[in-house]
Amino acid sequence: MSKKKITSKTSATDKAKAGKTPDARASKPKARHVPSVVGAHHGVTELPGLTIAGYNLEVADEQGFVGDRASQTAFRQLLDVWRKRLREKDQPDPLGELPSAELSKKALDRALRGKHASPAGEIVRSAIEEFAVELTQVIERFMRQGAWHGVQRIVIGGGFPESEVGELAILQAAALCHVAEIPVELARLRHEVDDGGLIGWVHLVPPHFVEHCDALLALDIGGTNVRCGIVKFRRGKAQDLSRAQVVRRTKWRHADDEPSRTALVDGLVAMLTDMIEWAHRHKIRLAPFVGIACPGLIREDGTIARGAQNLPGNWAADTFHLPTALREKLPVIGHEGTQVLMHNDAVVQGLSELPFMRDVKRWAVLTIGTGLGNASYVNTGPRTPAAE
């Protein structure tokens, strides 16, 4: 495997250094365990007090899938259109020579911060306005679908809203929804986006693990990055798990390395093994459980039906089963077989907001990243005040 760029995040009390690279050769499993049963637990849609009404919704028209127009990729394409218009008028491109897809979020945010209007800022604002219109139209189309009927609140997650450009686009879309009398509220994800796709697993893990363990392991696999973390349940702080916290996280920007599917799996194993060893050193009782969030429609047997086209290799192949591939290579956690479960990444990120959505009946999530992820939920228990 080639050397990989890894970033790390730990809780404020942690003084340990993260590993430099998810190299499976550098951290080999110490033992093998008996594989746990896999089956109907993957992609579950019924939870206590909650139904996952739908996810990976694909609405198409004559131009293709509607959701593709409200992704971060789509925003960069809109920006390219506005830059091309200037060049066609023989005007200089204020954003320079780099293609829009390669411009950093920080560079685009800087273009917005000038006290006075600048050509670069004007181009970025024009793309934002057009993107906000597209996002509003996507929301309107989704709201017509059965799984989204009656949705009262939409949480916006993914990497795009974390930038100033993304935040402004969401605010403009919220205003457009109000003007169009679309009866829905837009809200931002409360957690860091890198944490949301990990924290959501506390609501999917088997309850006995929450009762008898301190934390779980989780992976969030996207088209650009992989995030791996330890999530503490912190039941002593809140029984509804609203205070669950990522105490350590690493991120690998795998898109820069362009690994094969096999190399990506080896990298995941190395990241998880590093987390297991770190938890042992810090006396954290890990549940023998790994939650995997990834794009696509997840079958009950843990295979991916469709929607994983942004991941390296053919993840939808019938011969590929990621939970088994990981479980066979991971070191033992505790004294029992490790359970590895998989679900859609938008579903998991949305579930990180579950304790804060108890005051509405129907809600949804849109994750604006490389693509547009989506999921919708129905609270089936009694309506209660949302967690603070």
Handedness of CA 350, 351, 353, 356 (dihedral sign): positive
pLDDT digits (tens, 9 = 90+) for 149-172: 999 999 999 989 989 999 999 999
Task: Answer for the pair 202, 209: CB distance below 8 angstroms, yes or no.
Answer: no
- Is the confidence at residue 135, as pLDDT, over 70? yes
- Is the confidence at residue 69, as pLDDT, over 60? yes
**Of the spans 111-115, 289-293, 306-310, which averages the highest pLDDT?**
289-293
Q: What pLDDT band is residue 387 in, cutting at 50, 70 and 90?
A: confident
pLDDT digits (tens, 9 = 90+) for 54-64: 999 999 888 88
Residues of the chain with CATH 3.30.420.40: 6-45+192-351
Q: What is the dihedral of CA 298, 301, 305, 308, to 10 degrees?
A: 60
pLDDT number for residue 242:
96
pLDDT number for residue 35:
41
pLDDT number for residue 25:
46
Q: Helices 164-179 & 119-143, crossing angle to 10 degrees?
A: 50
Higher pLDDT, 248 or 27: 248
The bridge status of strand 50-55 relative to strand 46-47 is antiparallel
pLDDT number for residue 231:
99
Q: What pLDDT band is residue 17 in, cutting at 50, 70 and 90?
A: very low
pLDDT digits (tens, 9 = 90+) for 312-339: 888 888 888 999 999 999 988 987 789 9
Q: What are 242's two structure tokens?
A: 């609203």
Q: Give how far Cα 42 sits from Cα of 32, 45, 54, 285, Å.
A: 23, 9, 14, 24
Share the mean pLDDT of the chain. 88
Q: What pLDDT band is residue 39 in, cutting at 50, 70 and 90?
A: very low
d(CA 226, CA 267): 9
In CATH, what number does 6-45+192-351 get? Answer: 3.30.420.40
Q: What pLDDT band is residue 7 in, cutting at 50, 70 and 90?
A: low
pLDDT number for residue 10:
72
Q: What pLDDT band is residue 116 in, cutting at 50, 70 and 90?
A: low
pLDDT digits (tens, 9 = 90+) for 227-245: 999 999 999 999 999 999 9
Residues ≥6 apart with Cβ < 8 Å to 272: 217, 219, 228, 290, 326, 330
pLDDT number for residue 337:
83
d(CA 141, CA 144): 5
- Is the confidence at residue 1, as pLDDT, over 60? no
pLDDT number for residue 247:
98
Residues ≥6 apart with Cβ < 8 Å to 97: none
Amino acid identity for residue 324 in this structure: T
CATH of 54-188, one of 3.30.70, 1.20.1530, 2.30.29, 3.30.420: 3.30.420
Q: What pLDDT band is residue 109 in, cutting at 50, 70 and 90?
A: very high
pLDDT digits (tens, 9 = 90+) for 160-210: 998 999 999 999 999 999 999 999 999 999 998 899 999 999 999 999 999
